[in-house]
């Protein structure tokens, strides 16, 4: 990959990867760091003759980077708990409705949460999502239907139990 092609890849997909990382990490600085790592890995592989960069490759790489971040975050929280301190997670300034939806999405399982983010926050086509997840479009439709149902149930539960809404991420 010549440098011009890499620059085009970066210009085209950097905002998408930052947004995807933010949805998973709930912190803009962490999201920017994760996106930087994704593109650093792409840069290191840019001269591989057999490698083609696609949105699917970028997302799969982001999933790995975010997974590493989650493991690091978990280790950090365990150390903090052992030390007897607690650091609350900051919440972005947003409307109550957006916060309610984000809280409900964050309570979904990791697979459903990621599917909802890709389908509704990250503006990916259904075909792109199916390729990223390694499934057929028919399987994706079923998975997305189930994830939407779980999200609807979570939002309904919030409406009946507003005091139980968690305003922090449950990664």
pLDDT digits (tens, 9 = 90+) for 123-144: 788 998 998 889 999 999 999 9
Q: Would you state the pLDDT for residue 86? A: 44
Asked if residues 102 and 94 have their Cβ atoms less than 8 Å apart, the reply is yes
pLDDT at 32 over 70: yes
End-to-end CA distance of the chain: 36
Asked if residues 34 and 65 have their Cβ atoms less than 8 Å apart, the reply is yes
Query: Domain 91-164 belongs to what architecture?
Result: Orthogonal Bundle (1.10)
What value does the mean pLDDT of the chain take? 79
Number of residues assigned to the chain: 171
User: What's the whole-model pTM score?
Assistant: 0.53
Q: Bigger pLDDT: 167 or 150?
A: 150
- Is the domain spanning 1-90 CATH 1.20.1070? The answer is no
Average of pLDDT values for 41-70? 83
CA 74 to chain centre: 17
Q: How far apart are CA 151 and CA 66, in angstroms?
A: 22
Q: Would you state the pLDDT for residue 121? A: 81
User: Per-domain residue ranges for the chain?
Assistant: 1-90, 91-164
Average of pLDDT values for 155-160? 77
pLDDT in tens, 89-102: 444 445 667 777 88
Q: Bigger pLDDT: 130 or 76?
A: 130
3 state SS of 20:
helix
């Amino acid at each position: 990959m010549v440098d011009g092609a890499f620059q085009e890849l970066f210009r085209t997909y950097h905002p998408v990867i930052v947004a995807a990382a933010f949805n998973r990490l709930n912190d803009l600085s962490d999201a920017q760091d994760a996106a930087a790592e994704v593109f650093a890995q792409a840069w290191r592989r840019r001269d591989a003759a057999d490698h083609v960069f696609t949105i699917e490759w970028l997302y799969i790489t982001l999933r790995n980077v975010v997974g590493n971040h989650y493991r690091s975050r978990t280790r950090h929280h365990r150390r903090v708990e052992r030390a007897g301190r607690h650091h609350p997670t900051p919440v972005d300034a947003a409307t109550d409705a957006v916060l309610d939806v984000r809280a409900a999405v964050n309570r979904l399982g990791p697979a459903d949460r990621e599917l909802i983010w890709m389908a509704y926050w990250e503006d990916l086509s259904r075909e792109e999502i199916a390729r990223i997840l390694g499934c057929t479009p028919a399987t994706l439709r079923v998975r997305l239907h189930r994830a939407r149902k779980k999200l609807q149930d979570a939002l309904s539960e919030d409406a009946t139990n507003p005091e139980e809404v968690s305003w922090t991420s449950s990664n």
